[in-house]
Structure 1
Amino acid sequence: MRIPLTLSARPALLLSLLLGACAGGPPQRSSVNPNDPSLRRGEALVRHGAGSDALSPVAPAPAVQDLGAQAGFGRAWTASSVRASVYLFNTYQEARVAEDWLKAHVPEGLRGAGTVNGDLLVWATADATDEAGRAILENLIGSFAGEE
């Protein structure tokens, strides 16, 4: 048997439902399609930042699940030590937290750079002694930061 809500109970129920929905933050992406518009945008930004350099697909490093991202992909430059990973997050803030963590944990012997663009985080590394790699990192980060 369904109990009808009185008029005075409806606003309270509505308020509690709204508060419960807001407390959990934005809705989580259920599953991310590889053709997700954000991932396609990330791929275009990587290609723009790479210029005419040849790239090959690699697994993102660190792994997508290790950063709490929804999805991601990686690319490696064939003529240098540069390796880039693009991660898709639910929110800009989640991406910023992951970027801060990555910047604080650059492996020894590597140079790391990253930036956030909307719900995307790009993280790239190069050997610390690779000067050509340093220039590639700057171009890539500039592409994601809108400095085309």
Structure 2
Amino acid sequence: MNTELLTRKPWLALSLLGLAYTVLGWHLSTHHIFWLVGTFVIGVTLIAAWKNNPILESLVWLGTQKLFAVVGITLLVSVIVALALTQPMLLNLIFLPLATLVYSELEMKAIGLKATDIFLCSVTTASLGLIIGEAIDLWIIPSMRY
């Protein structure tokens, strides 16, 4: 990683990312530990696939089309509103970590970090957040057990 990274790191974006994953880890700790590990593995897989998959690159080309963009945004907003009305906890567990991940990635791209540095910072912050959330559940504030 770049040695100048510590002075240029977007602290607010990474703090929000860590907080979102801490809450996610706290909520997931009510279930079996495999949920926590599974979420981490799925997240890393999706990030890696998003960066290198040619099928997803062709979807980005489709995103430049106006009609596809309008339909996609409308569908996304509809799903978010439906989740907010029916399952607000599910919205918090899915949308908040995703939104903070996108925000922190945009902030890190804006200051000119390389893709590997962005990936390492995001994965490290998300992993620490999940671990801290699990630790909070075990030692400080136990969540409801199912």
TM-score computed with the length of structure 1 as normaliser: 0.26
Larger radius of gyration: 1
Structure 1 or 2: larger helix share?
A: 2
Q: Structure with the greater relative contact order (CA < 8 A, sep ≥ 6): 1 or 2?
A: 2
